[in-house]
Chains A and B, each alone.
Chain A
Amino acid sequence: DGGITQSPKYLFRKEGQNVTLSCEQNLNHDAMYWYRQDPGQGLRLIYYSQIVNDFQKGDIAEGYSVSREKKESFPLTVTSAQKNPTAFYLCASSTERYSYNEQFFGPGTRLTVL
């Protein structure tokens, strides 16, 4: 089955630790995105990548880092510099860069800082 997967579903982190969230897609999509969702809020863009080996900051990139070494993978690292990391993180992909098309979302990772 084609799709976009995120792991783990739930993640707990101690303050001061970095943690990496996985996002993989087998849809052969060029573009991938990371969003953060807080209770009662819409989706806020963290980082996006329109092509392999290139990525751009979104609206709330501070305290986060990404890499795009492979077309199918776009991991997100939440660093200790992110002051309020507890949230629901969503990864998405879309077929082509710089075009009008829908995004396909993964199931999300819920990160809790203890």
Chain B
Amino acid sequence: GESVGLHLPTLSVQEGDNSIINCAYSNSASDYFIWYKQESGKGPQFIIDIRSNMDKRQGQRVTVLLNKTVKHLSLQIAATQPGDSAVYFCAEISSGGSYIPTFGRGTSLIVHP
């Protein structure tokens, strides 16, 4: 049978719904967090970032929430569109890690028209 490891966590939504993608990070010393979007066969693109001295940051149709107590990051996408279908990665960066980002495994977002 297929390996479970080949399949990303998947979020399936209807066009127009709000989407929430979650990320648990590992390093309590991480200072900076980034969300990336990766469309099939392409490189990741920056969506939004947040520093550890903030708990919320808003962009155009996107909001990132940071809960340092439980080491959790979320990306909220308002009024999700078919063009939002992609894999979404979170990345954490700490000064102790030479500022090299550590990437999460990713979540696949599928938006149905």
Chain A positions near chain B (C-beta within 8 angstroms): 6, 33, 39-43, 45, 48, 50, 56, 58, 90, 92, 97-100, 102-108, 110
The answer to whether B89 touches A108 (Cβ under 8 A) is no
Distance, CA A43 to CA B43, complexed state (A): 11
Closest to A31 in B: B99
Distance, CA A56 to CA B41, complexed state (A): 27
Using known A-B contacts A41-B5, A42-B104, A48-B100, determine if residue A108 contacts B34 with beta carbons closer than 8 Å.
no
**Number of residues from B at the complex interface, CB < 8 A:** 28
Q: Which residues between 87 and 113 of chain B lie within 8 Å of chain A, taking CB atoms?
A: 89, 91, 93, 95, 98-101, 103-106
Closest to B106 in A: A42
The answer to whether B31 touches A100 (Cβ under 8 A) is yes
User: B6, B45, B51, B104: which contacts A100 (Cβ < 8 A)?
Assistant: B51
Closest to A103 in B: B101
The answer to whether A107 touches B93 (Cβ under 8 A) is no
Measured CB to CB, the closest approach of chain B to A59, in angstroms, equals: 9
The answer to whether A42 touches B32 (Cβ under 8 A) is no
Using known A-B contacts A98-B99, A100-B51, A100-B99, determine if residue A39 contacts B43 with beta carbons closer than 8 Å.
no
The answer to whether A102 touches B43 (Cβ under 8 A) is no
The total number of A-B Cβ pairs within 8 Å is 56
The reply on B61 being an interface residue by CB < 8 A is no
Distance, CA A98 to CA B51, complexed state (A): 16
Closest to B45 in A: A105
- A98: chain B residues within 8 A (beta carbon): 95, 98-99
Given A39-B6, A42-B103, A105-B43, output 11 extra A-B contacts at Cβ < 8 Å: A40-B5, A41-B106, A42-B104, A45-B100, A92-B43, A98-B99, A100-B31, A100-B93, A105-B36, A105-B45, A108-B42
Measured CB to CB, the closest approach of chain B to A37, in angstroms, equals: 9
Distance, CA A99 to CA B100, complexed state (A): 9
Using known A-B contacts A40-B5, A40-B8, determine if residue A105 contacts B106 with beta carbons closer than 8 Å.
no
- B98: chain A residues within 8 A (beta carbon): 50, 56, 98
User: A58, A92, A103, A108: which contacts B41 (Cβ < 8 A)?
Assistant: A108
